[in-house]
Structure 1
Amino acid sequence: MVNSAQEAVGEKFVLESMRRARDKTWEVVERVASKVKPGMLESEALAECKSVLQDMKMDRIWHPILIRFGENTLRTFKERSQDDPRLKDDDIFFIDLGVVWQGHEGDSGATFVVGADAEMHACAQDAKTVFDEVEHHWRTTGAGGKALYDYAAERAHALGWKLNLDIKGHRVSDFPHAIYKAGNLGDFQPHPNAGLWILEIQLAHPTRPFGAFYEDLLV
């Protein structure tokens, strides 16, 4: 049951179509990640992603493609990348895609590591771990959106990372979800319903200049 106007959907909304959009977006993330290599510029990775999206015949993108290398992994969605860094032999990067497939919004993001930096590998893995723990909390406790992010902050701290609480998740739906003005998941008091909300986790290393990002649909 829809909690409020913040969980409104359009006439074309189908939950199974949200799942398909999610799966297609993850396919792009994985395909692009496999093409990102040391020596590549951030802008070159972005161009590669656009090519993959065209090949897969997306409807359109609904938010700008974000691919962040190195220190830029600490930047939020609204912040521009600093310069156009080249991926190092031991480095970290994330991909964040918002793509429309058959009129429904996919939004997926994950962090990847090249080389053998143990802390970078741990950060990338723990972004997914915190996501999984919070998703389980959502499934099993009936927690509201604000409580989910309180829990995420606790789990990130326990693993030795800082959670960026300026990143609080958001609505998705049949395109365009923005007409519903739903606000952030982290400010949503009720228990969020399945297929409508993106849970975002962005971690920062406590002392070194890099972080990690993971997001997916709560479904």
Structure 2
Amino acid sequence: MNSNAKQAVGKDFSVASMQHARAMTWKVVDEVAKRIRPGMRESEANVICKAVLQELGMERIWHPILIRFGENTLKTFKERAEVDPQLAENDIFFVDLGVVWDHHEGDAGATYVVGDDAEMKACAAAVKTIFDEVEHHWRSTGAGGKDLYGYAAQRAEALGWRLNVDIKGHRVSDFPHAIYKAGNLGDFDERPDASLWILEIQIAHPTRPFGAFYEDLLA
């Protein structure tokens, strides 16, 4: 499949609609994070998330709700949670949502900290820093997807964190993007077009059992 096919869109695709889907998905992520409290379990947070999605009038979800607490922040999207952890007073969590709004796909995720654990706060800040640096690298150099993730690994190591190299980003578009079989951003040699790819960054603490996650549209 050539790069044009991997970056194809449907006849109803709209950049404005992609931006709307992005904004609405972030609105849900932020609102859900505000409602998560110590003592809550992951399953309870999922119930809250479903309620917020209904409140804001989502069209549908296109990938399962993923909310990870504590040690589960080290798990990838495809790894099932073996337990239903309870958020501690000093803890870390992330929210990852894929939602369809007006027939276009939003995908956003961010990490949050409760309490005053300095290393957890540093981890949550670092994953956003690495994301921003990689996004800037994309804008300023025209680097392809493989190069972006090579750069992400370098920046994570330089900042003292471990990049999860199994998390490589993916396509989005007018729903459903899966028909284009575009694969992972981290396996895409050419420069990714704007408003079509999600950059995902997941890092881990070098010694402690937690990590952080951030994703957003390359726009």
The TM tier, using the shorter chain, reads: over 0.9
Aligned to 1:210: 210
Q: Distance in 1 between matches of 2:24 and 2:121?
A: 25
TM superposition shift of 1:53: 0.2
Secondary structure of 1:165's aligned partner: coil
Alpha-carbon deviations, 1:171-207, whole Å to 9, x = none? 0000000000000000000000000000000000111
Aligned to 2:89: 89
What one-letter code is carried by the residue in structure 2 that aligns with 1:184? N
Aligned to 1:33: 33
Q: Distance in 2 between matches of 1:139 and 1:159?
A: 21
Task: Specify every segment of 5 or more residues in structure 2 that has no aligned partner in the other structure, as ranges.
Answer: none
Alpha-carbon deviations, 1:111-148, whole Å to 9, x = none? 00000000000000000000000000000001000000
Secondary structure of 1:138's aligned partner: helix
Aligned to 2:6: 6
Secondary structure of 1:4's aligned partner: helix
Aligned length: 218
TM superposition shift of 1:28: 0.2
Q: Distance in 2 between matches of 1:146 and 1:56?
A: 36
Q: Distance in 2 between matches of 1:81 and 1:129?
A: 27
Aligned to 2:44: 44
TM superposition shift of 1:3: 4.0
Alpha-carbon deviations, 1:36-67, whole Å to 9, x = none? 00000110000000000011110000000000
Identity %: 71
Q: Distance in 2 between matches of 1:31 and 1:148?
A: 30
Q: What TM-score, normalized by structure 2, do the two folds share?
A: 0.99
Large movers: runs of 4+ above 6 Å? none
TM superposition shift of 1:82: 2.4
Q: What TM-score, normalized by structure 1, do the two folds share?
A: 0.99
Secondary structure of 1:209's aligned partner: coil
Q: Distance in 2 between matches of 1:56 and 1:70?
A: 28
What one-letter code is carried by the residue in structure 1 that aligns with 2:53? L
RMSD: 0.8
TM superposition shift of 1:8: 0.6
Alpha-carbon deviations, 1:52-106, whole Å to 9, x = none? 0011110000000000000000000000112100000000000000000000000
1:13-28 correspondence runs (5 A): 13-28=13-28
Secondary structure of 2:16's aligned partner: helix
1:34-183 correspondence runs (5 A): 34-183=34-183
Q: Distance in 1 between matches of 2:160 and 2:135?
A: 20
